[in-house]
Amino acid sequence: MKHIMIGGVLEASEMALGCMRDCRIPFEDAEKLTLTAYEEGITFFDHADVYGFGASEEYFGRILERNPGLRNHIQLQSKCALIRDTEKTLAIDTSKEHIIESVENSLKRLKTDYLDTFLLHRADTLIEPEEVAEAFDILHSSGKVRYFGVSNFKTMDLMFLQSCLNQRLIINQMQLSVAHTELIDPTASIQLNEIDNVDRNGGVLTYMRMNKITAQAWSPFQVRFYGGVFMNDDGYPRLNAAVNRMAEEKGVSPSAIAIAWILRHPAKIQPLIGTTNKERLKDICTASGVELSRLEWYELYSATLYDEGRAQIGNSNPKPAK
């Protein structure tokens, strides 16, 4: 698998394994999944304190214990800020105390001395950036966190926080798939419906490229926020037809084409693969060897716009915008 430089400073595999659902499968299967990922060339593993309320990190810690030496060859990432019950997010906490406590607990569960990267999971309306800066400084100087980042931050929130930090933010994790294109829409010029020319995220991807902040793409197969995958979704006939044709032409699966579409972007976006099926994981990893041309990339993007009624490409009677 190819490697990229995260934030220009941390070398890692161009795909990462998202470990949110690990605790929902038997431990032995989670261990096989992790080792399969590593064998396929994945070195970057994404966690958060709320994934299984710590259970997924505990699984991974046991895996590291049972596989001595593995920690030296991988990068571990965790996140904090969400305060949840079993059904919903109750609050967001980016206080100094919560950040430090969360890292300490993640390190214990993961059975490691340090995190390669640590992110704030969501933007916090009540954020006190000076507290975040102090927490980050303590964690960095103690050697417990090497690099920092955020998740789901728009441009101004990202700029504001960075202006108060001594540590450089190197990651912003956001939702992106070929059927959920909000992250890249502001940079496109082929959308024809006026409403879709509205910039909803402040051109965050362009800002990130300017400042060497790596985008990580979560839910790289989903239609919308936890809205199901686009493959075999009747609402995306044109997209599925194009993906299936390219998959057949290139001798890979539709899943590999969906990931190759993300990898083709020059921002070097790192997709987070969340499957718990090791055979599906192997299949998805073949995307690292797939090259999409400009025409193929734009064909898939245009197909999504067409299916969603957001563009009139090749259609004399477009559907209304959603």
Catalytic (active site) residue 51: yes
Asked if residues 131 and 164 have their Cβ atoms less than 8 Å apart, the reply is: no
Q: Determine the Cα–Cα distance for residues 126 and 101; give it in Å rounded to an integer.
A: 18
Taking phi over 0 as left and psi of -120 to 50 as alpha, with beta for the rest, 224 belongs to beta
* DSSP letters spanning 165-187: -SSPEEEEEEE-BTTB-TTTGGG
Angle between helices 55-66 and 96-110 (to 10 degrees): 40
* DSSP letters spanning 46-57: E--TTGGGGHHH
Asked if residues 241 and 306 have their Cβ atoms less than 8 Å apart, the reply is: no
Question: Coil, helix or strand for 215?
Answer: strand
Q: Determine the Cα–Cα distance for residues 320 and 314; give it in Å rounded to an integer.
A: 15
Asked if residues 297 and 261 have their Cβ atoms less than 8 Å apart, the reply is: yes
Question: Coil, helix or strand for 68?
Answer: coil
Q: Taking the CB of residue 183, how many other CB atoms lie within 10 A of it?
A: 23
Q: Determine the Cα–Cα distance for residues 123 and 16; give it in Å rounded to an integer.
A: 23
Question: Coil, helix or strand for 220?
Answer: coil
Q: Which of 51, 236, 301, 306 is catalytic?
A: 51
Burial of 224 (0-12, 13-18, 19+ CB in 10 A): middle
User: What are the two backbone dihedrals, phi and then psi, of residue 197, each rounded to the nearest 5 degrees?
Assistant: -90, 0
> What are the residues facing 149 on neighbouring strands?
119
Q: Which residues are catalytic?
A: 51
